[in-house]
Every structure is written in C-alpha cells, then in structure tokens.
Amino acid sequence: MREDNKQQVSIQGKGPEKRKKSFRQRFTPKNVFVLVLIVIVLSAVSFMTVEKASANPAFCNLCHNMKPMYNSYNDSNLLAHAHKQAGVSCHDCHESSIPVQMEEGVKYITGDFETPMKTREFSKEMCLKCHNYNEVKAKTNFEESNPHDSHNGDLECFKCHKMHESSNVFCAKCHNFSWFKDLPAYFTK
C-alpha cells in the first residue's frame, strides 16, 4: 500500500468530521416548545406545592416576622388560638390572592418587610362571614349593657377584638361594668 493511501485510510477511519450545530439547528421550534413546556410544568408543580403547603399554618411560621402570629394562633390565650380550636385556618381570614402571595414572598426574600408587622384591621363584614351578629348580640345581652348593641352605634369588631394580641373592651374607656370580669382570657381586664 502506498503512503498516500495509508493517510487516506487513517483520515477516513476517524469517521466524518463533526461540525458544531448552529444556534438555529439546536433550537428548532420543536426543541424550544419542549423546553418551554418543561419550564411551565415545573413552575406549575412548584406553585401547587407552595400553595398546598401555605394552607398549613405552620408554613406561615417560616418567615421570622410571622412567629408571633403563628405562636398566638398555635398556642396562646388569644383570640387567634380560640379560632384555631374552632377549626378556622389562617387563610379563612387572610385571603391572599396569588399576586399578593407572590409579593409577600419577594418581600421576605429581599428582607423588605416591617418588624413587627402592622396589625391588620378586618372589616365587620369579614367577621360576619362566619359569625351571626344577632346571635352574638343575644349572647352578650348583659343586665347592665350590651357591648354589641352600643350607644356608640355600629362599631367595627376590631375596636374590641384582636386576633394576635390581647383584645380590649371599648366600653371600658368610660364604663366599669360588672361583666368585664367574666370575659374570656384573651381580653385585657
């Protein structure tokens, strides 16, 4: 065999020369579609996992500024714990939309939040989603007065009732009724 043929055979023995694929060849519409589909599926699974986990009140405790709220819900003599014992979860009152939950997550990750957190004041309408005002009024019809039928008019519930801190009696600003001593432990007396 001649020397020329040996060179040709050894070159041919390597196989065809591999050329790098161009960007267009690698990212065909099919490949891009599969990649986008994978990202969408992974995002959806991640979102559903976080959404499911956030239904558990312990999830709220992951943020260090939420610990006092979680503790008051989980084990305390406050109104939040009374709601827990009645089977009410955090999301029953704290109805956050997906954009609000995402904003809260970003604030936690970036550290852009207030400590301690501001106390939220829910409207009476929020409370009346679960509580029947006429039943509450009937339960609190004390001999001396009825805090739910006040001469001050129709008060917002948060004037007296606090979830994650001691509740107070708005009437006590001016009055000293005997029924104050019989209030639940979550009221400041």
pLDDT digits 0-9 by tens, 63-88: 778 889 999 999 999 999 999 999 99
Query: Could you tell me the pLDDT band of residue 3, with boundaries at 50, 70 and 90?
Result: low
pLDDT digits 0-9 by tens, 115-159: 888 888 999 999 999 999 999 999 999 999 999 999 999 899 999
**CB count in 10 Å sphere of residue 58:** 11
Q: Say whether pLDDT at 1 is over 80.
A: no
Q: Measure the CA–CA gap between 159 and 106, rounded to whole angstroms.
A: 32
187: three-class secondary structure by DSSP: strand
Query: Could you tell me the pLDDT band of residue 95, with boundaries at 50, 70 and 90?
Result: confident
Asked whether 167 and 161 are in contact (CB, 8 A), the reply is: yes
Domain annotation for the chain: domains and CATH numbers: 119-189 (1.10.1130.10)
User: Which residue would you say has higher pLDDT here, 114 or 163?
Assistant: 163
Q: How many residues does the chain have?
A: 189
Residue given tokens 């852009």 in the structure block: 112
Q: Say whether pLDDT at 18 is over 80.
A: no
The token pair that represents 2 in the structure block: 């001649």
pLDDT of residue 54: 78
* Residue (of 63, 52, 89) closest to 74 by Cα position: 89
- Interval 36-45 mean pLDDT: 94
At position 156, the amino acid (one-letter code) is E
